[in-house]
Amino acid sequence: MRKGVFGAVIAAAAIAIAVPAVAQSPNDTIAARVAKMKELGAASGAITAYVRENKGTPADMVKAGETMQGLALQIPTWFPKGTGDGDPGVTKNRAKMDIWAKFDDFSKAATALRAEADAFVAAARSGDREKITAAAATLGPKGCGGCHTPFRAPQS
Amino acid sequence: MPTISPGIIAVLLAVTLVPASAAAQGPSAERGKSVFDAGGCLACHTDLKNKGEPLAGGPPLKTPFGTFYAPNISPDRTHGIGGWTDVQFVRAMREGVGPDGRHYYPVFPYTSYTKATEQDLRDLKAYIMTLAPVAKPSRPHDVGFPFSIRLTLLPWKWLNFTPGEWKPDPSKDAVWNRGAYLTEALTHCGECHTPRNLMGGIDRKRWMSGSADGPDGEKVPNITPDASGIGKWSVKDIEGLLSDGGNPDGDYVGGSMGEVVAHSSSKLSAADRNAIAVYFKSLPALPSAVPKKK
């Protein structure tokens, strides 16, 4: 009896590891990706505070940039088909249906964020505030805004 | 050694200075570029998504009245505005009337541009004339009856539109007045951020308090200094958003605001962004006009 439950748990875990997106309901996927976006938002918030208010250190900037490096190329996997704002049975969210009409462009926007994050981390490692500010000036608008402008609907 | 009296110097100075300052300045394409950027003409009149040529005609603009396409306003003589005189151009921008006498739909925000100075409008045209002409016909609007009949616009215009240049408020300082002028006349923030009355006109009593039917039916947030708006934002925060699209929390705006930042507000001078921010901080705080989702 006990063994049976345990086995089932292991089997479930194995499935979850193999096909994370499919194992989740669309609404769980949306909740999970919003949490991931918030991680990006927190990293980006640290950078904004450094640039605009001189808060934090270059080491903090390396960390924030690395968070983005780690997540950027994963973004397209957070958007399986059937999880858009307008898909049947899906909670209100901000993912425009255009994401799936132009999935190549969407993926390119994620790659663009990765390139921006790479450049930002290099600048942050130099420790030079001017270089960091210059890299941040394109990181946000191109890396994040470059995808939010075509693919994310405003908050409602 | 002859001496020159201060009086003569003053006369000489006056003579050399008069032409530059007192007389109206001729149109300048260079100044016109900043009017063009502030006015956000490119985003509506260019199909940016599909890499269309500049000003050769824009993407569909969906409204409750139908779908509109901003026409070709490149300097092409047949399909654009290459053959227009300055007077015709100023009349289109200020009165919403075309050279052939037709009345424009207010999707074209002449309701804001009417407040621009004569000088700014002439400079703007001079700049547009430096761009490449594109020989491409404009796409007709897709608008149902009765709005397909331009004459239905006449009562609308009569009730909702007051043509005329913006008047500075002498009780406020120069920075505030610059910000108010840019916002009212050129950057047309209010066209998206203000709710509309039943007639589709801008509801001045709820100025900048948000709108449930922005471009493509998107919700547009309250940007008055209220708790439901941007009450916590400093002047610096607003300047920052206008320069790169980043809000104080690290999120980056998207949708039509992303386009405003990319093609308009990021290209303004830092002083102009500061003026707009100062103006927004001075607005009365209003509750959000956007209904909350359930």
**What is the domain range of residue B216?**
174-282
Contact B162, B262 (CB under 8 A): no
Is B86 in the same domain as B150? yes
Phi, psi of A141 (to 5 degrees): -60, -40
DSSP 8-state code for residue B293: P
Within-domain flag for B40: yes
Domain final residue pick, B129, B160, B191: B160
B227 Cβ contact list (under 8 Å, min separation 6): B285
Q: Are residues B193 and B258 in the same domain?
A: yes
Interchain contact, A154 vs B254, CB within 8 Å: yes
Give domain status of residue B14, yes or no. no
Query: Does the residue B186 lie in any domain?
Result: yes
The one-character DSSP state at A5 is H
Residue-wise pLDDT tens digits, B157-184: 777 788 899 999 999 999 999 999 999 9
- CATH class of residue range A25-151: mainly alpha
Instruction: Tell me what pLDDT residue A19 has.
Output: 39
Prior bond of B225 cis (ω within 30°): no
Nearest Cα neighbor of B120 from B98, B89, B76 is: B89
Phi, psi of B246 (to 5 degrees): -90, 130
What pTM, to 2 d.p., does this model score?
0.85
Residue B8 lies inside a defined structural domain of this protein: no
Residue B61 and residue B145 in one domain: yes
Could you give the CA distance from residue A15 to residue A152 in angstroms, rounded to a whole number?
31
Q: Is the pLDDT of residue A7 over 80?
A: no
Q: Which amino acid is at B121?
A: L
Nearest CA-CA distance, residue A144 and chain B, Å: 6
Domain final position from B125, B160, B195: B160
Does pLDDT of B227 surpass 90? yes
- Are residue B145 and residue B194 in the same domain, yes or no? no
The Cα–Cα gap between B226 and B232 comes to 8
Do residues B238 and B156 both lie within one domain? Answer: no
Please state, in angstroms and as integers, the Cα–Cα distance from residue B128 to each residue in B41, B132, B189, B212, B260, following that order: 10, 9, 22, 33, 19
Decide if B252 and A148 are in contact by the 8 Å CB cutoff.
yes
Same domain membership, residue B184 and residue B133? no
Instruction: Mutate one of A50, A61, A144 to test the B interface: name it (highest B CB count within 10 A).
Output: A144
* Interchain CB contact of A141 with B (< 8 Å): yes
Please say if the pLDDT value at position B20 is more than 80. no
For the stretch A90-149, pLDDT in tens is 999 999 999 999 999 999 999 999 999 999 999 999 999 999 999 999 999 999 999 999
Q: Is B258 found in the same domain as B182?
A: yes
* Mutation target vs A (from B223, B228, B241, B252; most A CBs, 10 A cutoff): B252
CA dist list (Å): A89 to A26, A79, A93, A156: 9, 16, 12, 18
Domain count, chain B: 2
**Same domain (yes/no): B179, B151:** no
Task: Tell me what pLDDT residue A23 has.
Answer: 52
Q: What is the ipTM for the molecules in this complex?
A: 0.75
- B13: tokens are 């100075």
| Contacts for B251-254: CB closer than 8 Å, 24+ residues apart | B251/A41, B251/A44, B251/A45, B251/A144, B252/A44, B252/A140, B252/A141, B252/A144, B252/A145, B252/A148, B253/A145, B253/A148, B253/A149, B254/A145, B254/A147, B254/A148, B254/A149, B254/A150, B254/A151, B254/A152, B254/A153, B254/A154
The CATH number that applies at residue B130 is: 1.10.760
Put simply, the answer to whether A140 touches B246 (Cβ < 8 Å) is yes
Domain locations in chain A as residue ranges:
25-151
> How many A/B residue pairs have CB atoms within 8 Å?
81
Question: pLDDT tens for residues B176-216?
Answer: 999 999 999 999 999 999 998 877 788 999 999 999 888 87
pLDDT, tens digit, 9 for 90 and up, residues A8-66 = 433 433 333 333 444 578 899 999 999 999 999 999 999 999 999 999 999 999 999 99
The CA distance from A60 to A46, in Å, is 8
